[in-house]
Structure formats: structure tokens, C-alpha cells
Amino acid sequence: MARVKHIPRPGKRTRRSSSSNANESEEKKKRRNRPGTVALREIRKFQKAVNLLIPCAPFVRCVKQITNQLSMEVSRWTAEALLALQEAAEEHLVRMFEGGMLCALHAKRVTLMKKDLELTRRLTGIGCAR
């Protein structure tokens, strides 16, 4: 057999590299997750959560702005009414996105597009002028 010169590898320990071992632990790369793992974790987290996703103050400002544009008579809202309206709006948006994702999956895509949401609105009969 031929003789081969062995070169120490950076990952292996050697007797004289005990002081450099501490440097190796500092140089370790941060652990990365596979693509999609974090997204699935976030989906599970938001499905378990019971709190509202839209911040309350911007939603209230939006409701009051729309109310002022449509009617000057209605200017005051109770907290319960605003909360009920926000819950209904979030539920509507979640259902819309669920339907849109089903349309995207039916088209053999994983990316949600504008045309998926438009098809969902047409199929559910929301926002159609007939």
C-alpha cells in the first residue's frame, strides 16, 4: 500500500487544538430551518390563537372614516359593536383566504393570486353586481 499524508480536518479534534476548540464553538453557524417549516409553525400558532389579528385602533379609525363618508348621523359606536364588527370582518377575511387557497391548489399552485380571490368572490356571491 502506498503511504498517504493525512491532513487534519477542520471539524476533527487534534491534541494541540484544545485552545482553538473554543473558537470553533463561537464560529458555528446558526441552525436554519427547512423552507416551509416556519410557515407551518406560524399557521399552527395562529390557528390556536383566539386573539384578533387586526390591531384594534386602526380598525376603529377605518370604521369611523367609512361611517363618516356614508352617514353623518351615525357618529358613535359602542365598544361591543366595534368588537363584533371586527370579529365578523376577520372571519370573513379568513374564509375568503381559505377559499382562495383552495382555488390555487386546484390550479396546482401553492401561491395565492388575485384571480383566486376574485374566483372565490364570484363563487360565494360576495361583491357581485347582478
Q: Is 26 inside a domain boundary?
A: no
- Residue 67, phi-psi category: left (phi > 0), alpha (psi -120 to 50), beta (remainder): alpha
Range of the domain at 99: 53-70+77-124
Contact 116, 100 (CB under 8 A): yes
Tell me, yes or no, whether 25 lies in a domain. no
Tens-place pLDDT, residues 74-110: 889 999 999 999 999 999 999 999 999 999 999 999 9
| Chain-centre distance for alpha carbon 6 | 50
Query: How many domains does the chain contain in total?
Result: 1
In a domain, 102, yes or no: yes
Report yes or no on 38 lying in a domain: no
**pLDDT higher than threshold 90 for residue 129:** no
Q: What is the pTM of this model?
A: 0.65
In a domain, 9, yes or no: no
> What is the CATH classification number for the domain harbouring 109?
1.10.20.10
Residue 99 lies in a domain: yes
Of 39, 48, 49, 46, nearest to 111 by C-alpha is 39
* 29-51 per-position pLDDT tens digit: 888 889 889 989 998 998 888 88
